[in-house]
Amino acid sequence: MGSHLSCVLLNIMTENKILNIFLRWFGLVLIFFGATAYAAEFVVLGDMPYGSEVEVDEAYQNLILQINRQNADFVVHLGDIKSGSTLCSDEVYARQKTLLSIFVAPLIYTPGDNEWTDCHRKNNGGYDPLERLQKLRQIFFDSTYFEGNSVLGLQSQGKADADFSDFVENQMWIASKTLFLSIHVVGSNNNMDAGTREGEREFILRESANSRWIKQAFDQLKGDRISDLVVVFHGDPFIDWMMPEPSLMYAGFSQTIGSVLFGLAQKTDKNVLIINGDTHKYRWDQPFHFNGSLLSNVSRLVVPGARDMRAVKISIQRAQYNYYSIEMIE
């Protein structure tokens, strides 16, 4: 199986290199002849692949090929690179990393809960979640990850802030005057209910790291250098099928999202786009309030996932009545 996958990947990656050269040349031709040019174009997906290799590998690789044809500036995977009922083994991590290598554009990855917080489950292998978190960081955020994304000028909190040197997965980059921010926020109540003293310490430390990283991003919104902000993370903090307007679902999200992110978003006149996965149901709206006031500058995108194996292409065009353009990829 491993040799077959290697052959398939070699053919795909060769095709991708040729395709990428053509698409970039074609894009320049379109711009020259006056076609619509967007400030930034990127693709987001998450919560996949779910299922066995036999069930989902072909469909997942076909989706990756469709994404590669988009000529996106970069791709973001929001986490949950495996389902919550499959093993958290090193071999599973390595295989998913190999699949992520098929993407042509720079690939940004932020972890989901299935990769570590839920790994204590018997059907996941009964692992220590904190040990799995450290292994996840070692495997996915090694030197090759940052070398591959050097074209984006990617910054890592783990490298920039000595107080939070473990948090290599918190990232920041700029594309066409849009600031992009990834923060480590996951499902399963953001691991607040770990049930162990070590787990509680992990949650508190990660909350502090995320909060500082968000504040640093909003500091950059001051002045004219940055036009808008996009924040990406895995967990869906909102419960909006029971109430007139979205409310935070669990206490594990109240500090990072409810207080820090929303509080700072209310103080800026620049657009903020929040993108998350976790609940597998596509949503695109502007539903948020803070302290009783509508956050009219904050939009929300929830990407599909699990059996709904689609990705979302976002084009930032900064038009007055159409700031973002959304397209489904399947």
Q: Give the 3-state secondary structure of 190-220.
A: HHCCCCCHHHHHHHHHHHHHHHHHHHHHHHH
What is the DSSP secondary structure assignment for residue 244, as one 8-state letter?
S
Phi and psi at 325, nearest 5°, equal -120, 130
pLDDT score at 246: 56
- Average pLDDT on 307-315 reads 97
Question: In the chain, what is the straight-line distance between the N-terminal and C-terminal CA atoms, in Å?
Answer: 26
- Residue 173's contacts (CB-CB under 8 Å, 6 or more residues apart) are 108, 149, 152, 153, 154, 155, 179, 180
What mean pLDDT is predicted for residues 14-36? Answer: 45
Using a pLDDT cut of 90, give the percent of the chain over it. 76
* pLDDT interval class at 322 (50, 70, 90): confident
Residue 36 has pLDDT above 60, yes or no: no
Q: Which of 6-20, 105-119, 223-237, 258-272 has the lowest mean pLDDT?
A: 6-20
Give 321's pLDDT tier (boundaries 50, 70, 90): confident
Q: Give pLDDT tens digits for 58-106.
A: 999 999 999 999 999 999 999 999 999 999 999 999 999 999 999 999 9
Residue 122 has pLDDT above 80, yes or no: yes
Q: How far apart are CA 245 and CA 87, in angstroms?
A: 37
Round to whole Å and give the CA distance between 132 and 139. Answer: 10
Average pLDDT value for residue range 258-268: 96
Bigger pLDDT: 241 vs 144: 144
Q: Check residues 208 and 320 and name the one with the higher pLDDT.
A: 208
Q: What is the pLDDT of residue 35?
A: 45
Query: What span, in angstroms and rounded, lies between the C-alpha atoms of 216 and 155?
Result: 12
pTM of the predicted structure, to 2 decimals: 0.88
Reply yes or no on whether the pLDDT at 319 is more than 90.
Answer: no
Of the pLDDT bands very low, low, confident and very high (cuts 50, 70, 90), residue 55 is confident
Q: Taking Cα atoms as reference points, which of 252, 254, 248, 256 lies closest to residue 231?
A: 256
- Name the band, by pLDDT with cuts 50, 70 and 90, for residue 26: very low
- Give residue 108's identity as a one-letter amino acid code: I
Confidence at residue 153, expressed as pLDDT on a 0 to 100 scale:
96
**Contact status, residue 130 vs residue 198, Cβ threshold 8 Å:** yes
CA–CA separation, 60 and 310 (whole Å):
9
Nearest-angstrom CA–CA distance, 122 and 114: 13
pLDDT at 248 over 80: no
Q: What is the pLDDT of residue 39?
A: 85
As a whole number of angstroms, the distance between CA 276 and CA 262 comes to 15
pLDDT at site 38? 73
Taking residues 161-182, what's their average pLDDT?
97
Q: Mean pLDDT lowest for which of 12-21, 132-141, 142-151, 294-303?
A: 12-21
